[in-house]
Structure 1
Amino acid sequence: MTTAVCFDLDGTLVHRTAPHETVTRAVLADHGIEADDAIVTTAQERFRAAQNALEPNPFERSMRAVLDETGRDGDPEAMVETLRERAYATTTVPEAAADCLDALAADGPLGLVTNGTRDWQLGKLAHHGLAESFDAVVTSYEAGAHKPDSAPFDLLRERLPADEYVMVGDDSEADVVGARGAGFVPIHYEETDGPSFWATLRAMV
């Protein structure tokens, strides 16, 4: 029997080392924009609204909203590239998680099911040397819905045939309730579990 072990990305495999607000503020400052709390809120709320609605280029829309509100000239695409660099640089993958992926990959297929745009999430994987770890990667944008909707899980199943599926994730709604509803066996990860979680996961699956 083939078991595909699937993972969430943000908050499960990849962890922030700085709050998103701090990263946004630094990016705006890099582009000569005084980033007070209101402007940072504008950037974050526009991004969340765009991503929730599956609008194309949510980060660019966020930066355009900042330029519109401040009346500044600027290149939103360049701002997004700065954001990408800073965002990737302020994330980390726990060593125990990376070791667990290596061990599990030797035993069976691995999948990734993540909310977000494909280019951004694949770039994050590449930045951390994880791009080759997965046999299939599904993002919510290409599935047409965010987790906990079943669409991302269903698309993963299409791309990665197996007899059963396990989903490892930190979000109790998206990764546990959503996975269970799609017929996956959910395993809830909490950051406080630390290395012991990854050692237990290796033993379990």
Structure 2
Amino acid sequence: MGPDGILYITTGDATTPETAQDVNSINGKILRMTLDGKIPSDNPFPNSYVYSYGHRNPQGLVWVGNILYASEHGQSAHDEINRITPGANYGWPVIQGNEQKTGMITPLYQSGEETWAPSGLAEANGKLYAATLRGNAVREFQLSKKQTNSVVTGLGRIRDLYIDGDYLYFVSNNTDGRGNPDENDDKLYRVLLRDL
């Protein structure tokens, strides 16, 4: 839910990359709709749920004030953190990583040849926190410094996270068939943000 009371939804390209560039398809998009399923009159494309396009596999969304950020899986690397602008084209499959093309947005952060597989996204104190699956970490993104690093490691695949007050909550996802579960996986964890 956005601060405007509207629902925002991520959709992957469904392994048909070219549909991410087609504003008449809902694949590879961030969509925006009212709670009763209607198209908001101020959406960027008339009579369309499409809010932004050119995404491969966006996963997490978080609002920082009135700014929307999204985490996104690249094909096999070049995972992204994007600042979302209504009607903007985020380039997939035409560009990825730091590649540039007129009319397309390059990400705030991208993983290069490394794979994070970011999913859930949260914010506190000017920092974004992303759960990462292949990255096996909670990753911190300092918006003012454009820096990133892993702040929680050693627990395997992290699927989602949530911030409440001084605490970061996150869940591991090692029993999904892609991880290496311990006997007692999966778990919900709670850590103090100041300890990260």
TM-score, length basis structure 2 = 0.30
Looking at both structures, which has the greater relative contact order when contacts are Cα pairs under 8 Å and sequence separation is at least 6? 1
Q: Which has the higher helix share?
A: 1
Q: Which has the higher strand share?
A: 2
**Structure of higher CA gyration radius:** 1
